[in-house]
Amino acid sequence: MSKNNGKYKLIIKRKNKKNLSMIVEAGTVTVAVPNDYTDDLVQYYVDSKEKWIQKQLHKEKSQPKFIERSFINGEKFKFLGKEVNLSINLFGKNPVDFENNIISVRVKDNLEIKDSLKNWFKSQANEIFTNKTIEFCKILEIECPKVIIKQYKTKWAQCKRKKLNDNFTYEVTYDWRIIQAPIEVIDYIVIHELCHIKVFGHSKDFWSLVNHYFKEANNYKNWLDENAFSLYWESPN
Ligand SMILES: [Zn+2]
């Protein structure tokens, strides 16, 4: 009988893997464990994480999932943390124009609005993340990695190491939606990923390196945790 019985749903998944992992989603705690873990062992682990689980469950409850977008004339969006208005324009010069905090999207039919807008945000993300990456690589005194922009399901960015002959090359991928967040959040994400080129994983050494280059890193890490929902255009589930 589990101690958490009734408080939340616990799902145990046995897998051919070496490590244990746990996620809290939609009021359910899912633990993936190596095949040879007994129920008691899993329960012991889950109990030891009770405080963290409660925190995650509370966070989930108190946080809106995402704001439904309509992609209509006059709708408000965020770009680099500032409010911008969407203007639907049938006769614009370019597919998307940005001036005086107004994003004008030229469209032939309404279905195109979302795609045009998304493409514009992605191209802005590509430019800003590339420039920021170059800027911070100079400060960190590292070679610039390749920059990729995409949309992730469960993370905001990733730093990948690739072996090329006898050397390593790096590739940093950012989620374009972060471009809606304040510029300091972008700085935090870029510094975080670039620090992974120096230190793998999230050890104490890693965080002290991040803090060395960006003293307020923690504030913007929290901002991202608390405001993630505001960056979604579609339901995250
Ligand atoms: Zn990381």
Domain count across the chain: 2
Ligand 1 centre to CA of 140 (Å) is 16
- Whether 47 and 139 map to the same domain: the answer is no
What distance in angstroms lies between residue 64's CA and the mean position of ligand 1's atoms? 25
Q: How far is CA 118 from CA 83, 147, 151, 171, 229, in A?
A: 16, 18, 11, 23, 17
Assigned domain for 2 exists: no
Per the confidence metrics, is the pTM higher than 0.85?
no
Q: Please give the distance, rounded to the nearest whole angstrom, from the Cα atom of residue 103 to the centre of ligand 1.
A: 33
Assigned domain for 106 exists: yes
CA of 106 to the centre of ligand 1 (A): 38
Regarding whether 100 and 141 lie in a shared domain, the answer is yes
Is 152 inside a domain boundary?
Answer: yes
Whole-number Å distance, alpha carbon 176 to ligand 1 midpoint, is: 17
List the CATH number of the domain containing 223.
Answer: 3.30.2010.10
| Sign of the CA dihedral with 45 first, then 47, 52, and 56 last | positive
C-alpha 193 to ligand 1 mean position (Å): 6
CA of 196 to the centre of ligand 1 (A): 7
Q: Are residues 91 and 169 in the same domain?
A: yes
What pLDDT, on the 0 to 100 scale, is given for residue 1? Answer: 39
Residues 127 and 168 placed together within one structural domain of the fold = yes
Q: Do residues 43 and 107 both lie within one domain?
A: no
- Over the chain (237 residues), the average pLDDT of each successive run of 10 is 65 88 86 90 90 86 78 94 92 85 84 89 98 98 96 93 89 97 98 96 96 96 90 84
**Are 50 and 80 in a shared domain?**
no
49 and 91 inside one domain: no
Q: 200: CA distance to ligand 1 center in Å?
A: 8
CA of 175 to the centre of ligand 1 (A): 14
Q: What is the pLDDT of residue 82?
A: 96
Query: How much distance in Å is there from the Cα of 96 to the middle of ligand 1?
Result: 33
237 domain-assigned:
no
Q: Write out the residue range of the structural domain in which residue 159 sits.
A: 76-231
| Co-location of 99 and 196 in the same domain | yes
Instruction: Name the amino acid, one letter, at 101.
Output: N
Between the CA of 190 and the centroid of ligand 1 the distance, in Å, is: 10
Half-sphere exposure of 186 (CA within 13 A, CB side): 25
Output the CA 201–ligand 1 centroid distance in Å. 6
Measure 13 CA to ligand 1 centroid, in angstroms. 25
Same-domain check for residues 96 and 18: no
Please say which residue of 20, 38, 62 terminates a domain: 62
Domain co-membership, 160 together with 82: yes
What spacing in Å lies between the alpha carbon of 206 and ligand 1's midpoint?
9
Residues 39, 112 within the same domain:
no
**Domain assignment present for 71:** no
Does one domain contain both 188 and 143? yes
The Å distance, Cα 192 to ligand 1 centre, comes to 6
